[in-house]
Structure 1
Amino acid sequence: MLQRTIFFLFLLGGVLVSLVAKADDNPRTFILLDKGWGYRPVSDTGLKSSMKQVTVPHTWNANYIPGTRSYNREMMVYRRDLEITPDMKDKRLFLYFEGVNSSATVLVNNKSVGSHKGGYTAFCMEVTDYAKQGTNKLEVWVTNAYNPEILPISGDFNIYGGIHRPCHLLVTEQDCISPLFYASPGVFIHQDKVSEKQAQITVETMLSLRGKKQGLKVRTTIEDAKGNIISQNIEQNVTIENVKQPFVIEHPVLWNAKQNPHLYKVIVELLDNGKVIDRVEQRTGLRYFSVDADKGFFLNGKYLDLYGFCLHEEVEGKGSALSAEDHERDMELVKESGATSLRLVHYPHSESIYHLSDENGIVLWTEIPMVGPGGYDFCGFINTDGLKEHARQVLKELVYQKYNHPSICFWGIFNEIRTNYDNAEPFARELHELYKEIDPSRLTTLASCDDPKFYQNCSDLMAWNKYIGWYGSRNAPETAGNFFDKAKAASNGKPVAISEYGGGANVEHHFSMKENDVKPSGQFHPEEGQTYIHEGNWSAFAQRPYMWAKYIWVFADFQSAIRNEGGKPGINDKGLVTYDRKIKKDAFYFYKANWSTEPMIYITSRRFTKRPEASVQVKVYSNLRENTLYVNGKKIGKQKSDSLNRVMWQNVTLSKGENRIRVEGKSKAGVIEDTCVWYLK
C-alpha cells in the first residue's frame, strides 16, 4: 500500500478546524475539545483535590524561570466532560489527539480506551462503545518522564509534558472514511508520474465499514485553484475497504516552491443510495524533484538553492503548546528572511507548519525523534526491541500523517547518533528501508556529527552538523569549505549538505570585536560574535552549489535544561530570533540581505548603545548597490556592498554623548534608510 508519491491535507490541522466544523452536506463533524480541561499530578490522589483549569493545547512546562535549568518530568491527569448529544445517536465517535507528550492513556467513564507512545505524532481512538448519551468523563493520563523505550531518549531540548497540541471529537456515520490508519486522513493521493505535460494520479481511499457493505459509492473530484472541476471518478458498488481511482491531469500547474506554490483540491465522498454520508477534502501539490551530487537540488527539473533554518516548535511562555497564530508568525519571519527551506527539528511538528509550508512554497526536511546528545554524555540509541519498535511506529505515523504535503521532500532518520554506544548503523539502514518501502518517492537523509566515514550506507543523502567558528576552529570560511570538500570526496557520489551551523548570541551582550574569541560554554555571548560566525560559514557555503541544502541552527532561541551559558541558564541562544520573537538579531538581517529580494539596509550592533571608544566600525547589511553613511547629519562616505552584501566604514569618530547613525541607499522604489543611536561616555 502507498507505494507512490502522495500529497494530502489533513483537515484536523489546527489552522483548519473551528469549534464545530461541519459542512451542510457532510455529516462528518469535528468538535474542538479545547476548553473545560483541568489537570493535576497523579500523585495528588485526594478525592476532593481540585484541578487547575487550563485550555488545550497545554503543557505544564511552559514557563521559563530565569536562573533555573530544571523542569518537571512527571505524570499528570487531564480531565473534562465529554458531551454526547442526541443527534450523535447511532453515529461513530472518535477521539483524535494531534499530540500528547510523551505518552498517554485515554479513559472514558473510568474505562481504559487505549494508550499511545510518543509525543509528536497524532493518534486516534474510537470511543463509540465507551461513551453514552449525555455527560461523560474523559481522562487522559500523561507523562513526560524518562523512558528508554520512547523516543527521544536524549537531546539538547526540553520534553514538554501535556496535551500540547489540539484534540477533537470526530463524529461520523457507521460507514466512513477511516481515521484509524495511523491517525491518517484515510485518503492518499499517489502521483504515479508527473511532468509539465501530464500528471497521472491514483487516489486511494481507506474505508471503515460497520453498516451495510453493498450499494456504496466513492466519488472523487479534483478541482483547480479557482474551484473548476478538472476530473471526477465514481467507484460503484463498493464492498471492500480500500478503493483506488485513477486520474489524468493534462498540463498540470506544478507546485513550484516560492515561485508558484499551486495547490489543487481533492474531494472524496462516500455515498449511500446517492446520499453523501462522509466527505474528506484535501489539497494537493504536484511536483517532482531530484538531488545531484555535483549540482545540488532540482525541483521540477530546475535548480533550487535550498537554504533556511532548523526550527524548534516552542515559544516563550507557551513551551510547545502553540497556537495557529504562533505558527503563522514564525512563517512570516521565515518568509521575511528569504529562506527557501526549513528543517523541522527534532521530531514531527504540528500540522499547521506543514500547511503553511505548502501554501508558501517552503521545502521541508522532517524527521523522527531519534536524537543523540551532541557534545553531552550518554546516547540517543540503545539496541533494544522496545526502542526500535517505537522508532518504527513513529516513522510510520510521521509518513502516513504527513505523507501528502508537497513541501516535504526529505525524511530524516536521526540526529547526532554517535558511535560510542551500540552500533546504530544497521538500524539506521532498516529505517531507511522502511521509509522507502512506504514512500519511495522521497529521499532519506540524516544529520551526523561524526567522521564522514560513518553512516555512508544508511540514507539517500548525507548531512553534517558542524559548528565551525563556534566549537573548534575560528577560521570558518577555510575550515568549513575544506570539511565539505573532503566529505563530498569521501561520500562516493552521495550528495552532502550542512544540517546545522551557527553560534550563540545574547542581544544584551556586545563588544568591538577584532576576531571571535568567545567561549561557547561561557556566560558572555556577544551578538557580534554570532554574526562573525555566520558571515564566515556562509561565505564558504554560498560558493558550493553541490551542497544540496544549508540549514542554520537555529531559527529562534529555545529552552534546554542542560545548558548554562550566555547569561541565561536553561536557554540555547543560537537562534537568529529571540525566544519571545520580539527581536531579530543582527545575523537574521545578514541572511535577509543575502536571501531576500526586498530592498533593505540594516545597521548592525545597534543594541551596542553605550560605546567605550570614540573610534568605531559601522557595519551595515544591505542588498542595495550603494550606501551612504551619515553621523549626526554629517556625510561620512558612500560605499558599495561587498559580495556578502556588507558595507563597513572603519575608524568612524563618535562625539561625546548622543550620536545619530543613519545609512541610506536608493532602490527602484525610492530612497530607504536605517537609523540608530549610540552614546559615547
Structure 2
Amino acid sequence: MKFILRNIFFVMLVFSIGKIKAQSRSKVNFGSDWEFKREEKTTSNWEKITIPHTAKVEPLVVNNQFQGTCWYQKKFKVANSKNKKVFLYFEGVMQEADVWINDKKVCNHKGGYLPFTVDISSFLKLKGNIIKVKVNNEDNPEFLPGKPLKDLDFNYYGGIYRNVYLITTDKLYITNSVAANKKASGGIYTNFDNINKDKASGTVQVHLKNEYAVEKKTSLKYILTNCEGYKLEFKSEAFVINANSDKNHTQNIVVDSPKLWSISKPNLYCLEVQVIVNDKVIDSYFERVGIRKSEIKEDGYYLNDEKLYITGTNQHQEYPYLGYAISDEAQYRDAVKIKNAGFDFVRMSHYPHAEAFMNACDELGILVMNSLTGWQFFGNETFQKNAIQDIREIARRDRNHPSVIFWEASLNETQMSESFMKEATQALKEELPFSHNYSACWIDNDNYDLFIPARQHGQAPDYWTKYNKANRKIFIAEYGDWEYYAQNAGFNQTEFANLKEDERTSRQLRAHGEKRLLQQAYNFQEAANSNRKGINTIGEANWVMFDYNRGYSNDLECSGISDIFRIPKFAYSFYQSQRDANVILDGNLTSGPMLKIANNWTATSPLNVTVYSNCEEVALYLNDVLVDKQKPSINANSDELKHPPFLFNLDRFIPGTLRAEGFINGEKVISNFIKTPKSQSKIELVYDISSKPINPDAPDMIFVYAKITDQSGTIIPTATNEVTFSLLEGNAELIGENPVKAEAGIATIILKTKNLKKPIKVMAKSEHLELKSSSDLVLNLDSQK
C-alpha cells in the first residue's frame, strides 16, 4: 500500500474523536468521585455518584419525569499547569448547565444533546480545587427541543448523563472542533472527495491555537495507519503561528488501493497528528478515519459506486429506569442489536446521539442520518438562532464520521419558515462545503437535497409510491407505526388516540401474544413492501427499533421491533430475514443464512405458521413428520421484498416440536425448532453483552433476564410470575422494579457494575413456580462470551 502526502488545500471524509495520546496532552475520564443532590423543597444530603448519571432513576413507565434543578460537585487536583491549558469536556448535560470552579462561575451552556468545553486554566489552585455544576432540565422554549415535556414525543432526562473528561494540553495545541466555533474549522477536519478502488485523495485540515505571548515556529507530523498495520509518517515544513492567535494548516493526502469503508466491511484507518516544536512533540491528536464514496444519483443511492437500497430504523437513545445515562459499552451494544436485526442504517431520532454510539456505527458499518433536536415546535427568534448554532455544532462534532451520509438540518414534523430553512441549509453547507454531504427535511422544499417524509405524511393507499418530482429523491424516514395506529389521520397523536384498535396497531407489547405480534410484523412487512414500489425512493427507516417513553403519554410507545429491555419481537426476525444469506459480517455479528419460526406452538397459537428466512426453500416438520416444503409466499404485500416470509397451513394443533429447515441451492444450511411448553419448572438466568464485554474498570450496565421455563428449558410464553432478583456478591447494584412480574415468560432487571475486578453473583427466585427453584449467575471477566 502506498500513501502520498502533499501540502495543499483539502477535504476528506473521516470520523470520530478517539482516545488522545501524547507527551503533553492527556485526556482523563473525569466521571468518578462526584457528589450529587436534587434541589427540592426539603434539604437533601449529598450522595456519592459516578458520571454518566441520571438526575432520578425513573419507573419503567415514566408518567411524572423529574424536571428541576440538581447539583453536582467534585474535589480534584491538577498537576502544575504552568504553560499548560486545562479543559473540561462535557459530552452532554441535560439541558442547561452552570459551571463554577473554586466558587467562580466560568460557564453557562444551553442545550442537552451537544458537547461543550470549559477552559478552567486560569481558575485552578495548586492545593486543590472544587467544581460545582448546576443542572436544570425544566421546559425552556428558547432552546431545543423547546416543546414542553408534557406535550413532547420523547423525554429529556436530567443530569450530567454523558461522559466528562479532563484534558490537559500545551499552550500551543490542536483545538476542539466545537469549542473553536469557526466555520468549517476547529480541531481536525478530514475529507476524501475523489475516491475509487484504485486511489483516494483528499485533505486533512488542522486548526491550531497559540496561547503563548510569543510567536511559535512549529511543524506537523502525520501518521496514517491502516487496519493491517501499514503506516506512513510525513512531516510538514515549518511554519509560524503568531502570539495569541490561531491558524489552519492543510495537507493533501493520496492513498493508493484504499481499504474502503462499507456496510459489510467497515474498514477504518488511524490518523495521528503531532504538533512539533524544537523537535519535541508538544501535542498529539488521534482519530479513526474511514474512506468511502457516498452519492445520490438520478437512479438512486450509491455507496462506493454500488447501488444500495438503504434499509434502516429509528432509535430513541433511552434505557429503562436510567434514561440516557448509560455507558459507552451499552451504547455499542444497542448499535450491535441494530446491525444484527438486519439494518444497515439508523436515523438519530430526534436529536444528536452519544459520541460512543456514533463511533459504534462507524465500527459496525451502520449508515447514519444525523438529526437536529426537535419535534413539532417552532420557537421565537432566540430559539431559531440556537437551532442554527446547533446545526453548526452537530456538523463540527460529527463531520469526520464515515457513517454519516445524511444531515437532517430541519425540525422534525415542524412547520418552519422559508427563511429559517434557507438559513439552516446555508449553515450546514458552510460547515460541510463538499458535495457528498446531503441535507434532509421532512418538508418537500428545494432548500434541501433530500425529501424525508414519514409514510403517514402521504395518503393511502399510494402514500409516496408515485412521488416522481424531477431531480429529487425521497427517503421514507418513518413508517410502519402511525399509519396503522391512527388510520393515516395525520400526526396529531393526542387528538386521534381514540382510533386505536388493539389488533390493528403496530404498538404491541410482548405480553400481547402471538396474534398481535404477528400483526405488528405484518404491518412492517406490508409497509416495507409498499415503500419499495416508490419511483424515487432510495431507502427507508422503520419506526422504531426499541420501545420507549414519551413525555405526553402515560404508557410505553411499543412499536419497537424489540421491547424496552431489548428483547426481540417477531418483527425483529422479519427484518433479520431481509439481509441476504451470502452477506457475512465480521466479528461476532449475526449474518449468513437465517431462519425463525414465528410461533410458540401452544393450543392457542395460530395454525397458519409464519417462518422468516433468507433461504430459497423451507421445509417444516411437526414431530419429525414433514408438513410441507415450499418457496416464499409472494403476494401484493411481499412481491417487492428480497425474502418474503414462508407460510404453512396446519390442520390442527398437536403438541410437540415444530422444526424448520432452510435450503439454498438444494442444500440444507440452517434449522430452527420450537417446542410446546410444558408446566413451569425452573428459572434460567442469562445476561446480554452483545459482543461487548463488561468494562472491567468503569461503571457499565447490562440486562439480566430470568426466563420462566419448563424442565427442558422451553420458555413459558404466558408466564407472569413475580421474580425477585438478589445480588449475592460483587461490586454492583440492581436497578429496576424488584420484585418484577415476568412479561411473556421473561423478567428483566438491569445490573449496573462499578468494576469487574471480582466476580459478581446474581440470583433470581420466584415463589409462584410449581416447584420452588432458583438459579444463580456468576459474572467475571472469563465468563463473558
Q: TM-score range by the shorter chain?
A: 0.7 to 0.9
2:13/2:192 contact within 8 Å kept: yes
Kept in 1, the 8 Å contact 2:153–2:552? The answer is yes
Aligned residue among 46, 54, 58 for 2:53: 58
Point out the more displaced range, 195-204 or 530-539: 195-204
- 1:653 is aligned to 652
Aligned: 1:9 with 2:16: yes
Task: For 1:659 and 1:425, locate their aligned partners in 2 and report how far apart those are by CA, in whole Å.
Answer: 63
Q: 1:456 to 1:245 in 2, by over 3 A?
A: closer
Query: Residue 440 and residue 545 in structure 1: after superposition, are their counterparts in 2 closer, same or farther (change >3 A)?
Result: farther
Q: What does residue 137 of structure 2 align with?
A: 144
Q: Which aligned pairs between 1:213-292 and structure 2 lie closer than 5 A? A: 213-230=215-232, 232-240=234-242, 241-292=246-297
Q: 2: CA distance between counterparts of 1:329 and 1:312? A: 14
Say if 2:504 is the partner of 1:518: yes
Cross-structure match for 1:539: 529
Q: In structure 2, what is the equivalent of residue 306 of structure 1? A: 310
Amino acid at match of 1:458: N
Secondary structure of 2:612's match?
strand
Aligned to 1:484: 464
What is the alpha-carbon distance in structure 2 between the residues aligned to residue 522 and residue 345 of structure 1?
20
C-alpha root-mean-square deviation of aligned residues, in Å?
3.0
* Structure 2 SS opposite 1:599: coil
- 2:456 equivalent to 1:459: no
In the aligned structure 2, how far is the partner of 1:544 from the partner of 1:679?
47
**Residue pair 1:202, 1:244 contacting (<8 A) in 2 also:** no
Is residue 2:400 matched to residue 1:399? no
CA distance in 2, matches of 1:278, 1:291: 39
Whole-angstrom distance in 1 between the partners of 2:283 and 2:369: 33
Partner of 2:190: 189
Question: How far off its partner does 1:250 sit?
Answer: 4.3
Aligned partners of 1:353, 1:106: CA distance in 2, in Å?
26
Deviation at 1:89, TM superposition (A): 4.4
Do the aligned residues in 2 keep the contact of 1:619 with 1:646 (CA within 8 Å)? yes
Aligned to 1:634: 625
Partner of 1:674: 673
Match of 2:731 in 1: none
Compute the displacement of 1:146 (Å): 0.4
Runs (5+) with no aligned partner, structure 2: 1-8, 486-500, 582-591, 635-642, 680-717, 719-785
Hey, what's the Cα distance between the residues in 2 that align with 1:254 and 1:296?
24
Deviation of residue 344 (structure 1)? Answer: 1.4
In structure 2, what residue type is equivalent to 1:351? E
| Alignment-mate amino acid for residue 455 of structure 2 | K
Aligned position for 1:589: 573
Question: What SS does structure 1 have at the residue aligned with 2:463?
Answer: helix
Aligned-partner SS, 1:279: strand
Cα distance in structure 1, aligned partners of 2:105 and 2:206:
30
* 1:498 matched to 2:476: yes
C-alpha contact (below 8 Å) 1:3/1:438 kept by paired residues: no
353, 356, 362: which one aligns with 1:352: 356
Structure 1 residue 498 displacement after superposition: 0.5
From the superposition, tell whether residues 429 and 297 of structure 1 become closer, same or farther in structure 2 (CA, over 3 Å). same
Residues 146 and 266 of structure 1, relative CA distance in 2, 3 Å threshold: same
Give aligned-pair identity as a percent: 25
Partner SS for 1:394: helix
User: 1:510: which partner in 2?
Assistant: none
Query: 8 Å contact 2:262–2:292 — kept in the other structure?
Result: no
Q: Deviations over 1:379-426 (max 9, x none)?
A: x112x221011101211111111111111111102353344xxx5332
Q: Please say if residues 306 and 550 of structure 1, whose CA atoms lie closer than 8 Å, have aligned partners that are also in contact.
A: yes
1:578 and 1:390, CA in 2 relative to 1: closer, same or farther beyond 3 A? same
8 A Cα contact 1:123 1:182, kept in partner = no
Unaligned 5+ segments in structure 1 are: 373-379, 449-453, 474-478, 507-514
Instruction: State which of 399, 409, 416 in structure 1 corresponds to 2:412.
Output: 416
Residue aligning to 1:341: 345
- Contact kept in structure 1, 2:209 and 2:247, CA below 8 Å: no
For residues 106 and 70 of structure 1, the distance between their equivalents in structure 2, rounded to whole angstroms, comes to 27
* Aligned equivalents of 1:323, 1:398: Cα separation in 2: 21
Query: Is residue 270–residue 279 contact of structure 1 (8 Å, CA) maintained in 2?
Result: yes
Structure 2 distance, partners of 1:368, 1:413, is 6
The code of the aligned residue for 1:329 comes to: R
The answer for the alignment partner of 1:113 in structure 2 is 106
User: What CA distance in whole angstroms lies between the structure 2 residues aligned with 1:303 and 1:97?
Assistant: 39
Q: For 2:103 and 2:292, how far apart are their aligned partners in 1?
A: 48
CA distance in 2 between counterparts of 1:364 and 1:35 reads: 32
Of 554, 573, 580 in structure 1, the residue corresponding to residue 544 of structure 2 is 554
For residues 506 and 573 of structure 2, what CA distance do their matches in structure 1 show? 22
Q: Is the 8 A contact 1:629 1:635 kept in 2?
A: yes
Deviation of 1:529 (Å): 2.1
- Per the alignment, residue 436 of structure 1 pairs with 429
Q: Match of 2:292, as an amino acid?
A: R
Residues 257 and 360 in structure 1, CA contact (< 8 A), matched pair in contact too: no
Asked if 2 retains the 8 angstrom alpha-carbon contact of 1:660 and 1:678, the reply is no
Number of residues paired by the alignment? Answer: 620
Deviation at 1:235, TM superposition (A): 3.2
Residue number in structure 1 paired with 2:70? 76
CA distances 1:320-371 after superposition (whole Å, capped 9, x unpaired): 1121221221222222222221111111111112212222222111011032
Aligned residue number for residue 609 of structure 2: 618
2: CA distance between counterparts of 1:74 and 1:277?
43
Question: Would the aligned equivalents of 1:368 and 1:413 in 2 still touch at CA under 8 Å?
Answer: yes
TM-score (ref. length: structure 1): 0.84
Counterpart residue identity of residue 576, structure 2: K
Structure 1 residues 214 and 298: alpha-carbon distance in aligned structure 2, compared to 1, 3 A threshold: same
